[in-house]
Amino acid sequence: MITINNRDKLEWKPGMTIKDILDTMGYTYSLIMVTVDGKLVDDDEYKTFKVHDNASVRVIHIHHGG
């Protein structure tokens, strides 16, 4: 199980990438930063970065608009 933003739970699947998580969560925002277990993941690695089971993933939407 993966924890998103210290709150939401997502079932882990082998080979799961950051992009898979963003797609599953419906996170389509243009200004997103992602950390896995506290470490920042480069935007270019969202498709390839494999998330391990029990990872703590933060998906921070930098607010624009408003």
Q: Tokens standing for 12? A: 């882990």
Considering the complex, what minimum distance in angstroms separates the CB of residue 18 from another protein?
A: 9
50 binds another protein (CB under 8 A): no
What does the DSSP assignment read for 7-46?
TEEE---TT-BHHHHHHHHT---SSEEEEETTEEEPGGGT
Taking CB under 8 A as the rule, which mask of x and - marks residues 18-37 in contact with another protein?
A: -x------xxxxxx-x----
10 binds another protein (CB under 8 A): no
Name the phi and psi angles at 20, rounded to 5: -60, -40
Using CB under 8 A, list all residues that contact another protein. 5-7, 19, 26-31, 33, 40, 43-44, 46-48, 58-66
